[in-house]
Amino acid sequence: MFVSPPPANSSQAVPGLLLRRKTSELATVPEGAELNGQNQLPTNSQREFVNAPPEFANRARDEIRRRLLAQKSVSASRSHSDSDAGSIYSAPSVTFSEADSGTSSLFSSHPSLSSAATTAASSLIKKSVPRVLTLAEALPKVFYDMYSPEILMNQENLLCNGRPKFTKRELLDWDLNDIRSLLIVERLRPEWGNQLPIIDFSLETQANAASPKFQVQLLPLNSPDEFIIQTLSQSDLYLEANLPEDFKLTSAKYTVAAARKRHEQLTGLNEPIMHLTKPEWRNIIENYLLNVAVQAQCRFDFKKKCTDFKKWKQDQLKVKKPDMPPPSTIPPRRRETSLLKRTLLKNTAKMVAQEPSLPPQLPSKVSLTREEKAQLWSLCQAQVYQRLGLDWTPDGM
């Protein structure tokens, strides 16, 4: 038998149906009710109420969520503003207390920050340490880009290492300083870590001898004239010769001026900063090296010739000259038969023989005049120029 449900305005409901709907459906929430974070559950006394349709229950659930979220956001914003205001007013007191104490620091209160800073500093120091190379590692292995093709095409004028024969000179300490000139580079190598390396060179065979100094110098191809002059004059080329600083500076200026003149003739441009090719760049270094090498050789030869000439003059003073009057003052010999005169001559000879002999007088110190030094200097220059095949003119002292 089919039983129809009671009407909507009826106050009675089916008992079984009411109990089942109470467990699965939500009750209506009054619009004016206050939400204190806890849902007001129906009590046992309020068992009879009207159930809302499912769409109203879903709408009520959404409304509850919206109001709860709005309430939480407002409370969070208020608490955040209160904390900001408190931090603003409390910051000076914290600052003053830290300033008064003076014992606490950022890294002492945070060991992790201290260790991180130490690690970063140590890594930076490791990166800044230059690389140590041997002399063989620092020297270039090929030289084909340092000279023009016209020079390299003539195999008869090349040495076994591929360099021209004019790079080998019979001058004082040439090989040592030629190696130093090869340590002047136009750019840094990638394996150097973007910084100049240190040359480790020591003589193991001669413990008492001082090891020569080697260092890598940077001279880019597009360097200003002043920088080229400074690099050359302050380099280690012929460091042991102790050449005057004004001579090295003058020689560097003369070399750069001659190179600029040749560069303008080749390019037809008068550039404030010369953009040199590798052969032009190397030619400047080798010309300066030749100038200081010739000067060092001439100074060495000049000192030796001055010593030899002083010794010759000293020997000339030691030559014993006969102590006798000129021939014109010697009286003619006459036969004297006077016994008295012969007796006087004999007694005089005995007295001279009995007198003690005086020690020979040492010659005084020998010195050279200015004219003699100028002649020796010009002679040394002419001999060095002729031996090297240079058409240079000897200059004065």
Which strand (E) or helix (H) includes residue 371? helix 370-388
Residue 328: its pLDDT value, please?
55
What angle do helix axes 174-182 and 278-317 make, rounded to 10 degrees? 160
pLDDT in tens, the chain (397 residues): 445 555 555 555 444 444 444 444 444 445 444 444 444 444 444 445 456 667 677 777 788 877 777 766 655 555 554 544 444 334 333 333 333 444 444 344 444 544 554 454 444 445 578 899 999 999 999 999 999 999 999 999 999 999 999 999 999 999 999 999 999 999 999 999 889 999 998 765 455 567 899 999 999 999 999 999 999 999 999 999 999 999 999 999 999 999 999 999 999 999 999 999 999 999 999 999 999 999 999 999 999 999 999 999 888 887 766 655 555 555 556 555 566 666 766 777 666 566 555 555 555 678 899 999 999 999 999 999 999 999 988 887 6
SS3 label, residue 164: strand
In sequence order, the β-bridge partners of residue 164 are 158
Question: Could you give the CA distance from residue 343 to residue 45 in angstroms, rounded to a whole number?
Answer: 185
Residue 378 CA: distances (Å) to CA of 287, 343, 387, 388: 22, 64, 14, 16
Report the pLDDT value the prediction gives residue 240, as an integer from 0 to 100.
94
CA distance 297 to 381: 9
pLDDT at 108: 43
User: Quick one: pLDDT at residue 12?
Assistant: 52
Q: Judge contact between 132 and 198, C-beta under 8 A.
A: yes
Residue 363 to residue 361: CA distance in whole angstroms? 6
Please tell me the predicted confidence (pLDDT) of residue 102: 42
Output the pLDDT for position 332: 59
pLDDT confidence of residue 359 = 56
| 8 Å CB contact between 244 and 212 | no
Exposure string for 92-103, b = 16+ CB within 10 A, e = fewer: eeeeeeeeeeee
Cα–Cα distance between 259 and 284 in angstroms, integer?
7
Specify whether the CB–CB gap between 272 and 343 falls below 8 A.
no
The 8 Å CB, 24+ separation contacts for 39-47 are 47/22
Query: Can you give the pLDDT at residue 244?
Result: 96
- Amino acid letter, residue 43: T
254 φ/ψ angles, rounded to the nearest 5 degrees? -65, -40
Whole-angstrom distance, CA of residue 287 vs CA of residue 294: 11
- Are the C-beta atoms of residues 164 and 197 closer than 8 Å to each other? no
